Structure 1
Amino acid sequence: MSHKSASTYAEGTSLAQLFLIFFKIGCISWGGYMALISVVRSEIVEKHRLIDDDDIMDGVALAMLLPGPVAVNVVAYVGDKIRGPLGGAVCAAAVILPSFFLMVGFAALYLSWGAMVVADKALAGVLPAIAAIILNAGLKMREKALRGPIDIAIALIAATLLLTVGGIWTVICIFATAAVVGILRHQSDDAGVPVEAIGQHPTFGIGSCVVTVFLATCIGLFLFLPQLTVTSILVQLFSVFSGMSLLLFGGGYIFIPMIQEAVVNAHGWLSLEDFAASIALGQVTPGPILISATFIGYKVAGLAGAVIATIAIFMPPAALIILASRQLERFSHMARFKAAQAGIRSAVFGMIIAAALSLLIGIAGEATNLLAPTVIFALSCFVLMYLKKGEIWTVLIAAVLGLLVF
């Protein structure tokens, strides 16, 4: 959604460098969703200075309005901004790979031994640290997001609504209202007048057409394949997961009931116990919870099934967000569009803070003793905000403390 082109960011950054950066991010981003986005911001905005906070917040806003896993969609958006569509694909693949490898290993152990391989104590220590990481990222964005009392009010309202109401329709209403407020606040006589030549912006070319046909094929397979006599299990896996990835909004936890209906009830690929194991293991790997699709694919069709299921759950939404962002760039030269973005960024800031608070509330609700998670959260904030250490050190320290105190 930013008006800057991918070529502006590409100078001096190779695809190999991007792969390594995002592979590292994928290794340390426990908690998925906003936690992963927070680490992306730390690495890409602060450390490597490849894009700025405005781009991150625009990517979060667009990803929350589109179907599929929000965090991976934001990564694809960021990669596209830096090195175009290929950069988006490389970054998305790199950030998923660590979780993919871990999940394949977990699946093999589970299916061989029939036992869960879950580091419960380490995870209990990491969760408060994840809340600190999200909070730290949000606070660092405040200068770009909050420029006056109106911005603060938008952020507070967005955070409150997300915590108390939630849901995709709430998100849509928040963004729509924030955009209108932004336009009204910044309205001027020259609003809507282009400041750049329209010809410099992306058009709906052959690449966009190919992506559109691919996305339509995914939905078509999902809707009509059950009526056809297709026996290939790999085709069935791709159809089920790619279709679901484009038809559900709101992030990974919203997907769980639909995935259960498809893989347990409709197709009978997994028992309810195996499905529960896939979700639990998805929670203790870095990256998004939808990496559970890897477990399901492995259980159904081995390593090939794991690869197909993983590609199908993540690739179509990533392609969609790149397509959408490139078409929105056609409007990025308009003053009203920029004003709407400014309003939406304030709402995104509020939602980031709400994500940290929601995690803390969840931890408090499940804890029998609040002392340990409180100490880990406070220590993580100290390490991040005052010692200025990176997220990887914060996560490692929290995991060790979790093993010692839980």
Structure 2
Amino acid sequence: MSVPLGEALKFWAKLGFISFGGPAGQIAVLHQELVEKRRWISERRFLHALNYCMLLPGPEAQQLVTYIGWLMHRGIGGVLAGSLFILPSFFILIALSWIYLSFGQIPWIAAIFFGIKPAVTAIVLHAGVRIGKRTIYNQALKWIALASFLAIFILNLAFPLIVLIAAATGIWGSKYRPEYFSQNNTPSQDHARDSADALIDDDTPIPDHARFSPRKMAVQSALAAGFFLIPIIGLTIVFGWKTLYPELAWFFTKAALLTFGGAYAVLPYVYQGAVDHFHWLSAGQMMDGLALGETTPGPLIMVVTYVGYLAGHIGHLLGYSNPFWYGVLGATIATWFTFLPSFFFILVGGPLIESTHGKLSFTAPLTAISAAVVGVILNLGLFFAYHVFLPHGISGSISWLSLAICILAGLALFKFKRDVMSVLLACAFAGLLSYFASSLMAV
């Protein structure tokens, strides 16, 4: 017995609208629905797929959805499952980005974002600590995290260079210090339930389409290259190579290949490129985009849709009566080139990379990269804190209200284990209250 493709697509579409809570929450929903409730896949097969996706760059929850869709219904099932997981967030973020640019200067809306920005600072710092607890389990990895923090904080090294140095360290460590780079924390199966009746069971043979074939891999790789090259060539012909849209395509392709450790890992790179290098948007707009990404369904890396929209909208604001469609084009390009590698890794490289799972020579560089990512994320949190608490620079006054909101948000996250959505809503409400309070005092 198998699940009809139409029934599976209904579930993947529903999932795209309810997948709040970041990767951990999304994976928990997937486990509850697919393993416990629907019995589409067994516990062990689910965990095996999850471990594989955790080794790849890119959003692991979206890749896990793509993987299971591919396992159940071949390539078309994987493409549709992975696409439906992100499409609701894509359209929602385009609408929110337009509202943000069109009405963001209205005082009460600005007050909401004033309250959200300190929450974003606390959320990023919390993410760094949380990822650190999961990935740093010995002294060597602590030194790697510290070195990456100092490299970006003091030396201002580019994020890709830090990733390459960390990967080289991991390769060296796999040969000479393997005890420091072995992944000794595998998912616990103490609570695994009997999954003999799952449609994809522990003993279900690997389907033919999931077996490695050099010929199939070559054909699929050629198709993937076409999906990458044809849009870039078209954009270059229409707009020119050194223009916004080809730059967006190439930049987010690189970003997609650097997302080891989840969306928070790539945010520093996106920030460096979009704010510091290309000047597509400001630091404050980037923080607002992260807040919008946190409040919409889908993976947090969907913040690239917001960045792409703002880049296109703002870049064509002068001289055009309606820059909305240029923003939509920018959002589409950013999203397409961010997620294209994820589909490639699952649909093309899945059978090959799966065979390397558990080999130290393959996992050690990723372990080192994950440790380096922690230092980079903490630096991003401190950078956000500087802009939020000192909005007028080091010589200006401290925003004590922002500091208080950030501390309360941190307590909610660290001590009381509140979810991100409730923290953001509470801080947005606090910002709104501050606006009404100051308005009453001015009367």
Give TM-score, length-normalised by structure 2.
0.61
Selected match of 1:156 from 140, 146, 152: 146
**Aligned counterparts of 2:172 and 2:234: Cα–Cα separation in 1:** 41
Q: After TM superposition, list the pairs within 5 Å mapping 1:387-406 onto structure 2.
A: 387-405=416-434
Matched, 1:180 2:171: yes
Aligned counterpart, 2:338 = 317
The one-letter code of the counterpart of 1:146 is I
Selected match of 1:246 from 250, 259, 264: 250
Q: Check conservation: 2:308, 2:332, Cα contact below 8 A.
A: no
The one-letter code of the counterpart of 1:186 is P
Matched, 1:373 2:402: yes
Q: Check conservation: 1:134, 1:356, Cα contact below 8 A.
A: yes
**Aligned counterparts of 2:162 and 2:428: Cα–Cα separation in 1:** 33
Q: Check conservation: 1:222, 1:240, Cα contact below 8 A.
A: no
Q: After TM superposition, list the pairs within 5 Å mapping 1:248-327 onto structure 2.
A: 249=254, 250-251=269-270, 254-255=273-274, 284-285=288-289, 286-287=292-293, 288=303, 289-293=307-311, 295=313, 306-324=327-345
Q: Would the alpha carbon gap of residues 370 and 246 (structure 1) be closer, same or farther in structure 2, given more than 3 Å must change?
A: same
Q: Would the alpha carbon gap of residues 105 and 149 (structure 1) be closer, same or farther in structure 2, given more than 3 Å must change?
A: closer
Aligned counterpart, 1:40 = 22
Aligned counterpart, 1:17 = 14
Aligned counterpart, 2:369 = 344
**Aligned counterparts of 1:154 and 1:308: Cα–Cα separation in 2:** 39
Q: What displacement does 1:398 show?
A: 1.0
**Aligned counterparts of 1:126 and 1:225: Cα–Cα separation in 2:** 39
Aligned counterpart, 2:225 = 212
Q: What displacement does 1:85 show?
A: 3.2
- Output the aligned Cα RMSD: 4.1
Q: Check conservation: 1:279, 1:292, Cα contact below 8 A.
A: no
After superposition, give the CA deviation of every residue in 1:354-402 in whole Å (9 maximum; x if it has no partner): 3222222332332632422222112112212222221111011111222
Q: Would the alpha carbon gap of residues 12 and 94 (structure 1) be closer, same or farther in structure 2, given more than 3 Å must change?
A: closer
Which consecutive residues of structure 2, in runs of 5 or more, have no partner in the other structure?
1-7, 33-45, 70-77, 181-205, 255-268, 294-302, 436-443
Q: Check conservation: 1:162, 1:170, Cα contact below 8 A.
A: no
Secondary structure of 2:418 counterpart:
coil
Q: Check conservation: 2:152, 2:376, Cα contact below 8 A.
A: yes
Aligned counterpart, 1:8 = none
Q: Would the alpha carbon gap of residues 78 and 405 (structure 1) be closer, same or farther in structure 2, given more than 3 Å must change?
A: farther
The one-letter code of the counterpart of 2:427 is A
Q: What displacement does 1:16 show?
A: 2.0
Q: What displacement does 1:350 show?
A: 2.6
Q: Percent identity?
A: 15
The one-letter code of the counterpart of 2:25 is E
For these two proteins, the number of residue pairs brought into alignment is 333
Matched, 1:95 2:89: yes
**Aligned counterparts of 2:409 and 2:53: Cα–Cα separation in 1:** 23
Aligned counterpart, 2:381 = 356
The one-letter code of the counterpart of 2:371 is S
Comparing 327-336 and 44-53, the one that deviates more: 44-53
**Aligned counterparts of 2:346 and 2:374: Cα–Cα separation in 1:** 20
**Aligned counterparts of 2:409 and 2:86: Cα–Cα separation in 1:** 27
Q: Check conservation: 1:54, 1:144, Cα contact below 8 A.
A: no
Q: Check conservation: 1:76, 1:318, Cα contact below 8 A.
A: no
Comparing 43-52 and 123-132, the one that deviates more: 43-52
Aligned counterpart, 2:261 = none
Q: After TM superposition, list the pairs within 5 Å mapping 1:49-68 onto structure 2.
A: 49=31, 58=55, 62=57
The one-letter code of the counterpart of 2:433 is L
**Aligned counterparts of 2:54 and 2:321: Cα–Cα separation in 1:** 38
Q: Check conservation: 2:9, 2:80, Cα contact below 8 A.
A: no
Q: Would the alpha carbon gap of residues 133 and 124 (structure 1) be closer, same or farther in structure 2, given more than 3 Å must change?
A: same
**Aligned counterparts of 2:30 and 2:110: Cα–Cα separation in 1:** 33
**Aligned counterparts of 2:251 and 2:9: Cα–Cα separation in 1:** 38
Give TM-score, length-normalised by structure 1.
0.66
Q: Check conservation: 1:180, 1:340, Cα contact below 8 A.
A: yes
Q: Check conservation: 1:241, 1:312, Cα contact below 8 A.
A: yes
The one-letter code of the counterpart of 1:215 is F
Aligned counterpart, 1:80 = 66
**Aligned counterparts of 2:140 and 2:324: Cα–Cα separation in 1:** 52
Q: Check conservation: 1:42, 1:137, Cα contact below 8 A.
A: no
After superposition, give the CA deviation of every residue in 1:280-319 in whole Å (9 maximum; x if it has no partner): 7676451333331463579566765554443223212321
Q: After TM superposition, list the pairs within 5 Å mapping 1:117-136 onto structure 2.
A: 117=106, 119-136=109-126
Q: Would the alpha carbon gap of residues 357 and 48 (structure 1) be closer, same or farther in structure 2, given more than 3 Å must change?
A: farther
Q: What displacement does 1:328 show?
A: 5.4
Q: What displacement does 1:13 show?
A: 9.7
The one-letter code of the counterpart of 1:131 is T
Aligned counterpart, 1:386 = 415
Secondary structure of 1:90 counterpart:
helix
Secondary structure of 2:390 counterpart:
helix
**Which structure would you say has the larger Rg?**
2
Q: Would the alpha carbon gap of residues 82 and 357 (structure 1) be closer, same or farther in structure 2, given more than 3 Å must change?
A: farther
Q: What displacement does 1:253 show?
A: 5.4
Q: Check conservation: 2:65, 2:81, Cα contact below 8 A.
A: yes
Q: Would the alpha carbon gap of residues 370 and 259 (structure 1) be closer, same or farther in structure 2, given more than 3 Å must change?
A: closer
